[in-house]
Amino acid sequence: MAQVLCQLPGFHDENLIVGMDTYDDAAVYKVCEDKAVILTMDFFTPVVDDPYIFGQIAAANALSDIYAMGGKPATAMNIACFPNCLSTEVLAKIVKGGADKVKEAGAIIVGGHTIEDNEPKYGLSLMGFIHPNNVVTNAGVKPGDVLILTKPLGLGIMATAIKADLLDEGAVEKAAFIMSYLNKDACDAMLETGVNGCTDITGFGFLGHALEMAKASNVTFEICSDRLPIIAESIQLAKMGIIPAGAYKNRSYVGDRVVFSNSVNQEIKDILFDPQTSGGLLIAVEEKKVNGLLELLKNNNKTEFSIIGKVKDKDGYFLEIV
Ligand code: CO
Ligand code: CO
Ligand code: CO
């Protein structure tokens, strides 16, 4: 989408703090000196069989772009596409899943729109608030910063395996828990700490989103592949070749802006390009604040998180995987 949007004629408005040009997570528009609104929307096709859990995941994913900017979600509108042949009870469960997550986020549902479509789709259009001076963007990352990821990778591979009925119930539940978990706790921790940059890891995969952040900040990310949080099952699945098509698109998008050490196995590379559904936050934080941030995450965040690398002066590649 971002590539297509770039071809639109430029829109200029002095109150637009974050727009389309930085590949950031959401738009930020200043309303007055101490208030800006954050606007974002996201919707997609089911990633799990259970309609209620699908609704939760789609909502958590849409809300994530507000959290990645350091914002507080306020209002949500449902976007739904739904086939006539399915019972409306299924739609009701999807929307209930979404509504429960919106409630958990402290926001409210204020409306929405449904159209008929052969393939069901669901998501949210959201509005949130933030102080104009506190917007966390892609572009503030500094050399010396430490990189932290707040959810394990491998979610696209897990979703592909769920569609092919390759996972047992426990593995499905684990993936569903991670995807439906709000990035709210990670966002609260990063706001309390004060960080230099953040993005959420979604469809472009870890390396696609990391690249946008490294580019926007003109720095190099050195990622330690053995420190990445990864869902154990997804490593086995990647070895078996259960990899979503989007991973190959992401690899060609990142292209020669990443370099891998010889020690990095193929399945880890595949997982680094795997498109994530409702993935975690990638946070860049000053070294002296790292322990404080980890402590807050340990106390509040219920998904696996880890220090995964550091930021260096830009040298050659934007991304170095060691
Ligand atoms: Co995002
Ligand atoms: Co998004
Ligand atoms: Co951002």
Same domain for 229 and 162, yes or no, is yes
Same domain for 174 and 298, yes or no, is yes
CA 150/CA 155 separation, integer angstroms: 13
* Cα of 93 from ligand 3 centre, angstroms: 31
Interval 28-54 mean pLDDT: 96
- Is 60 inside any structural domain? yes
Provide the pLDDT confidence category of residue 67 given band limits of 50, 70 and 90.
Answer: very high
Same domain for 17 and 41, yes or no, is yes
DSSP state of 230: B
Q: For residue 43, which ligand has an atom nearest its CA?
A: 2
Burial class (CB in 10 A: 0-12, 13-18, 19+), 132: middle
Same domain for 165 and 301, yes or no, is yes
- Is 139 inside any structural domain? no
CA within 13 Å, CB half, 5 = 9
Side chain identity at residue 107, one-letter code: A
Kindly state the tokens that stand for 4.
């297509």
CA dihedral angle for residue 286, residue 216, residue 267, residue 175, rounded to 10 degrees: 70
SS3 content of the chain, % helix, strand, coil (to 5): 40, 25, 35
* Cα of 87 from ligand 1 centre, angstroms: 32
Q: Are 62 and 237 in contact (CB under 8 A)?
A: no
pLDDT in tens, 133-181: 999 988 999 999 999 999 999 999 999 999 999 999 999 999 999 999 9
- Is 253 inside any structural domain? yes
Q: Which residue has the tokens 């399915």?
A: 86
Same domain for 232 and 272, yes or no, is yes
Same domain for 126 and 170, yes or no, is no
Same domain for 78 and 117, yes or no, is yes
CA within 13 Å, CB half, 171 = 20
Same domain for 121 and 198, yes or no, is no
Taking every pair of C-alpha atoms in the chain, what is the biggest distance, in angstroms? Answer: 57
- Is 141 inside any structural domain? no
Helix (H) or strand (E) holding 123: strand 121-130
3-state class (DSSP) for residue 46: coil
Give the domain-ending residue among 134, 162, 179.
134
Q: Are 91 and 82 in contact (CB under 8 A)?
A: yes
Same domain for 232 and 90, yes or no, is no
Helix (H) or strand (E) holding 88: helix 88-104
Q: Are 179 and 61 in contact (CB under 8 A)?
A: yes
- Is 189 inside any structural domain? yes
pLDDT in tens, 223-242: 999 999 999 999 999 999 99
* Cα of 209 from ligand 3 centre, angstroms: 10
Give the domain-ending residue among 134, 155, 174.
134
Same domain for 157 and 297, yes or no, is yes
Provide the pLDDT confidence category of residue 11 given band limits of 50, 70 and 90.
Answer: confident
CATH number at residue 119: 3.30.1330.10
Q: Where are the beta strands (DSSP E) in 45-120?
A: 72-82, 108-116
- Is 123 inside any structural domain? yes
* Cα of 154 from ligand 1 centre, angstroms: 17
Range of the domain at 33: 2-134
| Mean of per-residue pLDDT scores for the chain | 95
First-to-last alpha carbon distance for the chain, in angstroms, is 31
**Structural domain count of the chain:** 2
* Cα of 195 from ligand 3 centre, angstroms: 12
Same domain for 68 and 173, yes or no, is no
Give the bridge partners for 42, in sequence order.
Answer: 124
Under 8 Å CB-to-CB from 61, ≥6 apart: which residues? 42, 44, 123, 179, 202, 277, 278
Same domain for 176 and 239, yes or no, is yes
Q: For residue 28, which ligand has an atom nearest its CA?
A: 3
Give the number of other CB atoms < 10 A from CB of residue 87. Answer: 8
* Cα of 66 from ligand 1 centre, angstroms: 8
* Cα of 26 from ligand 1 centre, angstroms: 7
Provide the pLDDT confidence category of residue 98 given band limits of 50, 70 and 90.
Answer: very high
CATH number at residue 290: 3.90.650.10
DSSP calls for 301-313: --S--EEEEEEEE
pLDDT in tens, 281-299: 999 999 999 999 999 999 9
- Is 309 inside any structural domain? yes
Per-residue pLDDT for 1 more than 60? no
Q: For residue 22, which ligand has an atom nearest its CA?
A: 3
Give the domain-ending residue among 112, 134, 156.
134
Q: Are 231 and 184 in contact (CB under 8 A)?
A: no
3-state class (DSSP) for residue 321: strand
Kindly state the tokens that stand for 196.
């230099």
Under 8 Å CB-to-CB from 214, ≥6 apart: which residues? 141, 220, 221, 318, 319
- Is 165 inside any structural domain? yes
